[in-house]
């Protein structure tokens, strides 16, 4: 069905899937699960309260400060029914960053989980526009009279507020929100275009099976999760489960208990999962390790069902029914993708950005390459800039603009409607897109040569001894190369590898030698000049992207 608005989507899935589980999460009291009917009722209950009791006007803003949980979905639908613009907040931001965002968008309502109630109260004292706080959990703060989704009046009817497709459904604040927040405005038209495109694309990946159980591990404030992991999966009638943490133990527990079949994830998690499998195999007797490695080699030639039999113990740890995932948010290491493909789990690499609502492409169809992000979704036009090789996009999924920042909007969307992605790309004869770097990450060397960190990282990441790798350019401030950049790499070894050395100095020497050896695969000018070894994890965002600006500061401090 082609939904014309979110109202028809909510109505249709509520009727069609009724008593089937829509959203679920395990708590210390057991499983908290909403049926599709229950999700619809709770959404209407919240919307009715906002309209009738709080008398919040149509078009005002509602912010959500919470970890992912079933109640989050009811808050999103409730906000839409009440005619409000939804602002999902990053749960990991500091109070100062949140203050900056909320002062920018001026919401009337702040919905929060009980874990965030104290921060919500402080934010209300800082941001005058916040008139109401509503708890998403059963209220444990009745003494201070903060209502919860489960204590508000049990009324489910109001005159739902429809808004034009051109109006803003969501404001998504991107990374770097301190000082000058940058909120991406996503319209209902943008969102529905994504849903229509992805329904077509996912036919080549997922079965239209009402018994599909999906795992959600990305935060709901992330547009990729909100679009694909929430709206699209509910659109198909799937059951979505959340986890309390990103620890492999907790994730595998949910996968086993609920027999998870598919998930949305990020490359960093897949790399962690691969490492944990390999670490477990390394502890086995030599004959078991030899058999596992032999099976990996022959598995390339086998169909999926035989691969699953060869690696049955691994599949059993995933619940026995897990068959694949879509990954996005960062480049996928082809070695990681091939590893999972060989053991019978398919990884579909996708590509997108918030400004495109957010999915642009996903690897699917007749021509597939693990190094590619696949062909674009149906409604997008693509073009490669002849001078910069930047990928340009145009279509109904391109954002309205940055909230209250027409100046920034004009910097990324030109007069012909082309969105400048900032990504360097190539498109082959089959329409497959290959992302090769970021313009803003580009390193310009003294001779004028341009190098992209991602290219160097993909080579260094081939080492099984390296847990994390980040490459950056650092400017020289003296000598004949003053003002020019040099290539620096920061390496975090795996714990298992680090334990083999009696001192940090010996570990450092070994890693530097390995970097130099791997760098022989690169042209001489692309090889790192400065190699920094670090035993602490590199700073990342909540969606596991490297915080390159912070890492660059670390590198600069180390090289001084």
Q: Where in the chain is the domain with CATH 3.30.300.30?
A: 442-559
pLDDT score of 298: 95
- C-alpha–C-alpha distance, residues 557 and 560, integer Å: 6
Q: Where in the chain is the domain with CATH 3.40.50.12780?
A: 240-438
- Collapsing DSSP to helix, strand or coil, 557 comes out as helix
**Residue holding tokens 């603009």?**
401
Which one of 3.40.50.12780, 3.40.720.10, 3.30.70.260, 3.30.1490.100 gives the CATH number of domain 240-438? 3.40.50.12780
Beta strands in 245-345 (DSSP E): 262-265, 324-327
- Collapsing DSSP to helix, strand or coil, 21 comes out as strand
CATH number of 6-163: 3.40.50.980
pLDDT score of 176: 44
pLDDT score of 477: 63
**Residue holding tokens 């702040």?**
110
Low-confidence ranges of the chain (pLDDT < 70): 1-4, 139-144, 175-179, 446-448, 477-483, 560
pLDDT per residue as tens digits for the range 16-67 = 999 999 999 998 888 999 999 999 999 999 999 999 999 999 999 999 999 9
CA distances (Å), 267 to each of 260, 271, 308, 333, 356, in order? 19, 6, 22, 7, 20
User: Which long-range contacts (C-beta less than 8 Å, at least 24 apart) are formed by 534-542?
Assistant: 534/490, 534/491, 534/492, 535/492, 535/493, 535/498, 535/504, 536/492, 537/467, 537/468, 537/492, 538/468, 538/470, 538/490, 538/492, 540/268, 541/92, 541/175, 542/90, 542/91, 542/92, 542/219, 542/221, 542/222
- C-alpha–C-alpha distance, residues 307 and 21, integer Å: 31
pLDDT score of 177: 41
- For the 442-559 domain, the top CATH level (class) is alpha beta
Q: Which DSSP helix (H) or strand (E) runs through 351?
A: strand 346-352
pLDDT per residue as tens digits for the range 140-162 = 655 567 899 999 999 998 999 99
The candidate with the shortest Cα–Cα distance to 359, out of 196, 538, 471, is: 196
Q: Where in the chain is the domain with CATH 3.40.50.980?
A: 6-163
- Beta-ladder partners of 470: 490
């Amino acid at each position: 069905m082609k939904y014309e608005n979110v109202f028809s989507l909510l109505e249709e899935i509520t009727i069609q899937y009724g008593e089937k589980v829509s959203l679920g999460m395990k708590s210390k009291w057991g499983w908290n699960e909403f049926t599709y009917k229950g999700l619809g009722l709770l959404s209407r209950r919240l919307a009715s309260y906002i309209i009738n009791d709080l008398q919040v006007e149509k078009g005002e803003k509602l912010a959500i400060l919470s970890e992912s949980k079933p109640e989050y979905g009811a808050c999103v639908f409730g906000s839409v029914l009440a005619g409000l613009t939804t602002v999902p907040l990053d749960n990991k931001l500091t109070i100062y960053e949140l203050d900056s965002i909320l002062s920018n968008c001026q919401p009337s309502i702040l919905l929060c989980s009980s874990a965030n109630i104290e921060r919500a109260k402080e934010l209300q004292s800082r941001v005058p526009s916040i008139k109401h706080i509503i708890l998403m959990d059963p209220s444990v703060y009745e003494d201070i009279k903060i209502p919860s989704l489960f204590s508000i009046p049990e009324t489910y009817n109001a005159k739902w507020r429809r808004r034009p497709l051109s109006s803003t459904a969501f404001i998504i604040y991107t990374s770097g929100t301190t000082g000058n927040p940058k909120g991406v405005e996503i319209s209902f038209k943008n969102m529905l275009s994504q849903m229509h495109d992805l329904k077509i694309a996912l036919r080549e990946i997922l079965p239209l099976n009402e018994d599909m159980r999906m795992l959600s591990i990305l935060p709901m404030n992330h547009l990729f999760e909100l679009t694909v992991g929430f709206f699209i999966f509910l659109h198909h009638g799937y059951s979505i489960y959340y986890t309390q943490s990103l620890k492999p133990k907790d994730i595998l527990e949910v996968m086993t208990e609920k027999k998870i079949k598919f998930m949305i994830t990020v490359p960093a998690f897949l790399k962690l999962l691969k490492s944990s499998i390999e670490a477990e195999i390394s502890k086995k007797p030599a004959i078991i390790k030899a058999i596992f490695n032999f099976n990996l080699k022959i598995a390339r030639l086998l169909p999926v069902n035989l691969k699953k039999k060869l690696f049955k113990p691994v599949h059993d740890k995933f619940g026995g029914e897990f068959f694949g995932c879509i990954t996005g948010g960062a480049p996928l290491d082809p070695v990681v993708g091939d590893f999972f493909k060989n053991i019978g789990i398919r990884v579909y690499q996708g590509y997108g950005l918030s400004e495109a609502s957010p999915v642009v492409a996903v690897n699917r169809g007749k021509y597939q390459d693990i190094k590619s992000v696949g062909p674009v979704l149906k409604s997008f036009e693509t073009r490669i800039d002849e001078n910069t090789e930047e990928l340009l996009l145009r279509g109904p999924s391109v954002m309205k603009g940055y909230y209250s920042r027409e100046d920034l909007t004009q910097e990324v969307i030109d007069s012909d409607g082309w969105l400048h992605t900032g990504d360097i790309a190539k498109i082959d004869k089959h329409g497959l897109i290959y992302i090769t770097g970021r313009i803003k990450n580009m390193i310009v060397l003294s001779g004028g040569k341009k190098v992209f960190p991602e290219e160097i990282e993909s080579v260094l990441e081939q080492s099984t001894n390296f847990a994390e790798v980040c490459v950056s350019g650092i400017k020289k401030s003296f000598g004949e190369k003053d003002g020019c950049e040099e290539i620096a790499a920061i390496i975090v070894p795996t714990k298992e590898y680090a334990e083999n050395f009696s001192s940090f100095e010996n570990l450092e020497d070994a890693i530097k030698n390995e970097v130099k050896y791997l760098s022989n695969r690169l042209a001489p000018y692309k090889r790192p000049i400065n190699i920094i070894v670090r035993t602490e994890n590199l700073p990342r965002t909540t969606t596991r992207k490297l915080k390159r600006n912070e890492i660059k500061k670390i590198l600069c401090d180390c090289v001084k």
